Every structure is written in structure tokens, then in C-alpha cells.
Structure 1
Amino acid sequence: MTDHASDRVVTALQALVRIPTVSDRDPSRVDAEAFDRLLAELKDHFPLLHERLTLTVVGTHGLLLNWPGASADRPVVLMAHLDVVPVDAEAPWQHDAFGGEIHDSPSGPAIWGRGTLDDKGCVAAICEAVESLLEAGHVPAQDVWLSFGCDEEVSGTAAPEAVEVLRERGVTPWLVVDEGGAIAGGAFPGVKPPLGVIGVTEKGTTSLELVAEGRGGHASTPARNGPTARIARAILRIEKSPFPASAPAPTLELMRRIAPHVPLPLRPLLGRADQLAPVVTRALLAAGPEAAAMTRTTVAATTLSGSPALNVIASTAKAGLNIRVMVGDTVAGVVEHVRKAIADDSVRIDVIESGEPSPISPMDEAFELLESCISEVFPDAVSTPYVMMAATDSRHFTAISEHVYRFAPFRMTKAQRQAIHSYDEHIGVADLVDGARWYQLLIERLPS
């Protein structure tokens, strides 16, 4: 990649980060003008892309761009999203969250700000790859589509609309690549090389609300088992009734691939992970909450509401549950599990959001293409499949493609991964440039 291209992608990401494109479930709370400015910035920084690719607007500000290739037999979709989550004003950011400033980090100069990793870094890197190839006169072997959603962080409609546009045009993607995994350093204790984790599936995202009702009244005369007490008891019962654990096939393959890099006593176990699945599952459960989440459906009580005043007994108490549904489980099964765990017919269960886990994409030619690009740009990384815990826009694309993968081509330390949706989010300058190089290589290597 030329120095000009490297400078361009860095400058572009700085400009994008400075625009607070915060999405919200309530459309009236969205700053549409900020999204307008961001689209204008994209056009300014990547003029050839906007001149030569055909643009379709999806949702309010989502983009679907088509770059015709030598063939339309095996089209490719590269995805990212333009929106970000809000910034907590009380969080101790070292630098302005919407400043897009370059400051030192433990791994060198970095761009700091909301969206650098989630997900404007991918937007800038994809656009830079396409812009550089257009400047070089490159024609991709297959049609390339760019799908940039504008409401991913609130599970919005732009991605489903993009899927419908592609379906209507008869486009069946051979390969879809969205955010998700990364070149993850410090992913497992004792594993020295970074892991190039490629999400071959993702957990389903489901939200339930527990509701308990009663008479309410004055706090000076409380009755037993009021709405608040019943909600509290329900939450504790759910916590004491975890879902059954079993490591899915991608997790077992991940264990097998990292086996040569773990401490010697663990190598025989992980090297035969597929044959010793129950033992591996128990080991993951004992390794802490992050590892345990790789083996089962998880439930987190997130929102609580009750009385409007300290001296008033609640007439209605509610608890929100955020559930990540493991591959092999279903939303219906999750609701039934929660119902049995609560064992209280006076607590109502409302399904607020229902999302099944995504199908597992195969580790065939398409997956191997991603692996080869990782090996070229990040030669020290160990490529491996994994089950993604969070939700991405790409889950909608599984309706039209069997090959949907989740991978952001950036080196990320554990601290960086923890900064996503938190404070001090940042991406290394060199890592951004390498990410753009990875996308460019992927496009160059598309099979004819």
C-alpha cells in the first residue's frame, strides 16, 4: 500500500470518528444531520468509489454499493456499519471520544475515539482498499458489494433492507464478510501468538421482560411476596439454573488449533478436543465467564424497574433479560427454560426481541481464502473459527448466503477489545493500514 493510501485511510477514519453518528431505537432521537455529514465525508475521501460504484440507499442512511467484476457468478459482500453507541459522559476517556486524535498507545501511535474499532475502522479500511484498487485500474474477478448499515447498534432495518434488495436483484453472495473476530492478542492464557478468529456463526440475541404485578400501597405496611420480591426471587432462580453446557463444533476446532501453542500439559487434551468434548467443556466452564460463554446460552439481568418513590410499594416490577442463544438452542426452548427456572405463574414473561442463533458457515474454499489473507498480512497469527457472542448485521445475510463470516482485520489487544462499547476505544495507526491491506488482498484473490 502506498504512503498516500496509508495517509488517506488514517485521515478518513479521523474524520469519520469526529462525527457522532449515534443510533437510537427511537428515530426522533437520531441526529440525521450527523449521518448526512458522515456520508459527505466518505464521498470526499473516496471519490473514485462514489464515482464508479452504483449506489443504493437502504434505510435512512445505509449504503449498498456495487462494483461490477469480471464475473457475477460468485458475488462478494463486504460489510461494516456507520453508527456507533453513545458515549458515557462520566467514563474516564483519556482523549476526546469524538476527537479522532492520534496519541500514543502501548503498541504505538493510535487513533482514539468512539467507532475506531466498532465499526468505522472497517468502513475506512474497506473504502481505502476499493479506492486504491480503482486507482490501479483493477477489475475484481467477481462482483463486489459494499453494505454499510446505519443502525446496527440498535438492531435496525438497514441490513434486512439490503438483503431484500440483493434478493430482488437475484444476488446470492458466495462470500459475506462482516465485523466480528480480529487478530486477537492475549485471547487465551498461555497462548503466545495472536489468534485470527473468524466467526463462522453467532449466538442469537433474545430479550425477555419479567413482569410481576400487585396492589402496591404504602411502604409502612408491606405484604409478603410483593411484585419486587417476586422479581428478585425470579432473577436469583434463573441465575441458579444455568443452561446445559456443551462445546459446539467451531469451539472444539478452535481448541484443536491452539493446542500446539498452549502449555505442554494441556496439549494432549486440546489436540483431541473433538474426541474429548465433555472434558473440554468442563475445562472451559472452569476458566471463567468469558470462556464459559463459549459453551452455553447465557442470561444477564440488565434492566430493573419498580416503585416510583422510596415510600411507595411497587404495583408493577419488571426485569429485563438479555439472552445470547447458543448454537443448537432455540428461542422457544430458552423461554421454556426460564419459565421452569422461575416456577412462578404470577411472573409474566414477555418476549421483547427474538433472535435465533445463526447457522454455521462451512470451513471450505471461502473460509480458506480468508485464512490465506490472514497468513499473508499477519504471519504470526493462528487462524481459527469461533462462535461469536455478540450480534452483527451479517446474521440477516444468512438468509441469502451459506458463507457468512465475521472478521475485522485489525490487531486488537485484550484492553482494546474491552474498550469496545466502553471507554478509551482506539486503533493502532499501523493496524488500520494493515487492515486496509487485508481487504485489498482479499479482493485481489477472489477466485475467477
Structure 2
Amino acid sequence: MATWGATDERPTAADGEGRAVAKLQALIRIPTVSDRDPERVDTAAFEAFGRELERQFPLLHTLDRTTVAEHGLLVHWPGTSAERPVVLMAHLDVVPVEGEWQHPAFGGDVVDGAIWGRGTLDDKGQLVAVCEAVETLLAAGFTPAQDVWLSFGCTEEVSGSGASDAVAELTARGVRPWFVLDEGGAVAHQAFPGVSTPVGVIGVTEKGVTSLELRAEGRGGHASTPARRGPTARIARAITRLDASAMPSRLPEPTVELFRRMAPHAPLPLRALMANAARLAPVLARALVAAGPEAAAMTRTTFAVTTLSGSPALNVVAQTARAGVNIRVMVGDTVADAVEHVRASVGDEHVHLDMIEGNEPSPVSPRDEAFELLEATITAVFPDAVPAPYVMMAATDSRFFTEICERVYRFAPFRMTKAQREAIHSYDEHLGVEDFLDGIRWYRRLIEGLPA
């Protein structure tokens, strides 16, 4: 087993590929964990990340730079033309570490051909791939055909102001991007049961993110004399009722096109169904619901109970019980539709619904010249993959950029297995070394291919 650990030999070879891996390792080792409470953020880690980023990418840091939201970064790389500027995005903050990891979450170890650590996939791997592509092109004296902006957020994982501040800065400068490219999507392996061909999925929209808190209140008291239907019992019943309900499933147009493109690579029993997804959408939607949670989430608004709180002590009846519900609103549904579904499913006037945040689904971006450029770049670097649009199920900073740009896409140019996708926000997050290097090559080719 080959391992490059924190104290072991690292890839210090003269070739650029080894240096690129070492750069990602160095940045993985800085725990830039974001939090909704600013008092709980380790600002020293974010400051260290900024210094390390400048040390690893000195040429990039000779470009015009603007700090946003304290630790975010907006970089302007002038091109031959400013007519159709492009924004490449990533974020430097990560979620907390949980679970039992095979290798240290902030170790950046390279074991058997993969880089392990929090942020390798979400989203420091993408950030470093963008930076390395720009750094090497700058070193070669290359000038892009169009202005290139780099927007690196620092509050993506907590829906903070980093992206909206960057949008405000671009607006103040009069920048209207031709297209924006953020994380999301991938060269996905094992993307659909029975389909072995990888799919280069490009998010042309994303679900809206809405969070509610279910709240029930009561008298409280001593646990030796509990009353029926107290706050915790009401919240428990509300959760089970919501868990047993589901909003209607359907296939939005990007998903129909995704399955049309996958059809030639599907098993014979599914090929006709997928090829005729537009006509057989209700049947295919039911099949996806039955295929498991990842597939089911492609067809409908989802509800996940994520936080619970009740009494502060084992022998005290709670006066207030709460449950947090994270909702991902499907394209075609609205926040109001989702809230009404929760209210109707819970069916208890004593359970109050408090809105924490509400965001509608993003507009669907066109599949025109900009999308075709992304497709062509995927085909050039990943010739075995089928490029296709899809609906991004998670939320990205790019949703804020729809205010100033109609072409907002989401794609991470890395091969990812199903197990890797499941590791995002979980444990054992890792990125293949060769896959990381392919990502750098993908960004270089994209920048070099910007049309005049």
C-alpha cells in the first residue's frame, strides 16, 4: 500500500503533476470548517488558507483580487475581450468531520492512488484544479479569449453571504457573465442501475433549499407525571406523518433529456423506456422512486428531518420540542407548495411551522453555445462519458449568480463512483489522483477553448 502522509514522503517530483497533488494536500490540511454562528468559526484557519493559497499559486495572486465576505476571493483575469466574461467558481469552506475515517480527515494522505480528506470532492479539489489550470496557463504566457473571473466562496456550506457579496461586486463593476460554472455534477459512474457507461452530468438548474422548524409547546413538568400528547409526542407524530408522505413525482425536461441520452447505454429492458422518457414520464418516474433514494430525489421535492431538540434533562418533560426539516424543492414546485404539503401531512394545529430559510428552484439554463462548449470539453477529456443535462439536487453558491446570468451550470470535472458521491458530507471523502489531474486538464482545455 503506497501512502503519502503528513510526515511521510510527499510527491515532490519536479513534474507539475506531483506539485499539483502536493498543493491540494497542503490545503486539505487546513480545517476551514464553516458555521452559521460566526463566533464558532476558526478564523485563523481561514486566514491560514488564504496565505497558503497565495504561496501555492503566486502568479494567480498577481491578478486583480478582491476579498469578499472576509475570507472569500474574487479574481479578475483580463482576456482579449470583455464582451463575454466567464465566472469559474468553487468554495474553500468545508463541513465538520463526523464518522470513522480510514485516514485522517485533515491529513491529505495519498493512499493507493487517491487523496483522502475533507474537501477533496467538496470543494477544495475543484478549487485547486481551477487554480492550477490558471497558474500553468499564466506561466505559459497565455491570455484567454474572454475575461475570466474566479469566485471562491467561504460560506457555501452554511448558505452565507459569500456568493451574494461576489454578485454584488460584479454588479457594481458592470459585469454580466456569459456563463457561470460552479461545483455540482461529475463524471458519474454507477449513476443509474444497469448503466455502466459514465455520464458527464451538467447541472442546468438546482432544487430550491428551504428549511422549516416544527415546534410544539406545552406545560412541561416532572417526568414522573407525564401528560399525553406532550410536545415531544406531537413532534414525533409529526415526523412519522411527514416521513410517510411524499409529494408527487415527475420528470422535468432536463431529466427527460438525461435519460434520452443514456438510453443507448442502458440494458435492453430499459432502453425503450428511457428513449421514450418524454412520452412515458409517469412510468419512468415511478421506476426511479422504486430504485432508491438517489434516483427518487431526481423526481420530486424531498423532506429530511435533520435536527431534534427537547428537554434539557432526562427527568424533565419538555416545554418545547423542535424538529428541523430540510426541504429540496423540485423544479416545477414552489416553496409555498412544499410548506403546504408539510402542514397538510402533519395535520396538527398544535405543531407550528417556523420558516428558517426559503429559496425557490433556480431557473433552467439554456443548452446553447455555452452548454455545448462544456459538452465538447467533457468529450475531449473524458471520451468514454456521455455528456448530459440534469437537475442538481443539492444547493450551490451559483444559485445567487442567476441574478446576473442566465447561463449558470454546475459540473465538477472529476470521475466519481457512487461510493465517492455518498462520502460527500459523510466520512472517507476521497478523490483519485489521476481523476484530480484530469480535472486540471479539463479546466485548462475549457479556458483555452473560450471563443473569441
* TM tier, smaller: over 0.9
Aligned to 2:33: 22
Aligned to 1:175: 179
The 2-side partners of 1:172 and 1:391 are apart by: 22
Aligned to 1:235: 239
Tell me the CA shift for residue 221 of structure 1.
2.2
Any stretches of 5+ residues in structure 2 without a counterpart?
1-12
Task: Give the superposed CA RMSD.
Answer: 1.2
Tell me the CA shift for residue 3 of structure 1.
7.0
In 2 relative to 1, CA 312–58 (structure 1 residues): closer, same or farther, beyond 3 Å?
A: same
Q: Which amino acid aligns with 2:66?
A: T
Question: TM-score, length-normalised on structure 1?
Answer: 0.96
1:50 aligns with 2:61: yes
Aligned to 1:142: 146
1:81 aligns with 2:85: no
Aligned to 2:402: 398
8 Å Cα contact 1:207/1:353 also seen in 2: yes
Taking only the aligned residue pairs, the percentage that are identical comes to 70
1:279 aligns with 2:283: yes
Tell me the CA shift for residue 135 of structure 1.
1.3
1:101 aligns with 2:109: yes
1:188 to 192, 200, 204: 192
The 2-side partners of 1:223 and 1:93 are apart by: 43
1:59 aligns with 2:69: yes
CA deviations on 1:125-146 (whole Å, 9 max, x unpaired) are 1011111111111111100000
The 1-side partners of 2:48 and 2:107 are apart by: 15
1:162 aligns with 2:173: no
Q: Which amino acid aligns with 1:72?
A: A
Tell me the CA shift for residue 58 of structure 1.
0.3
Any stretches of 5+ residues in structure 1 without a counterpart?
none
SS of 2:185's equivalent? strand
8 Å Cα contact 1:5/1:128 also seen in 2: no
CA deviations on 1:245-270 (whole Å, 9 max, x unpaired) are 11111111111111011111111111
The 1-side partners of 2:39 and 2:315 are apart by: 35
1:304 aligns with 2:308: yes
SS of 1:362's equivalent? coil
The 2-side partners of 1:15 and 1:170 are apart by: 36
The 2-side partners of 1:198 and 1:247 are apart by: 16
Aligned to 1:12: 23
Tell me the CA shift for residue 5 of structure 1.
2.7
The 2-side partners of 1:261 and 1:154 are apart by: 38
The 2-side partners of 1:325 and 1:199 are apart by: 15
The 1-side partners of 2:109 and 2:316 are apart by: 49
8 Å Cα contact 1:8/1:45 also seen in 2: no
The 2-side partners of 1:46 and 1:176 are apart by: 22
SS of 1:408's equivalent? coil
Q: Which amino acid aligns with 1:97?
A: A
Tell me the CA shift for residue 220 of structure 1.
2.3
Tell me the CA shift for residue 305 of structure 1.
1.3
SS of 1:374's equivalent? helix
Aligned to 1:31: 42
Q: Which amino acid aligns with 1:111?
A: I
Question: TM-score, length-normalised on structure 2?
Answer: 0.95
8 Å Cα contact 1:84/1:153 also seen in 2: yes
2:79 to 60, 69, 72: 69
Tell me the CA shift for residue 4 of structure 1.
3.2
The 2-side partners of 1:223 and 1:32 are apart by: 46
CA deviations on 1:72-117 (whole Å, 9 max, x unpaired) are 11100000001111112xx22111111111111xxxx111111111
8 Å Cα contact 1:78/1:145 also seen in 2: yes
SS of 2:395's equivalent? coil
1:110 to 110, 114, 121: 114
1:410 aligns with 2:414: yes
Tell me the CA shift for residue 311 of structure 1.
2.2
Number of residue pairs aligned between Structure 1 and Structure 2: 440
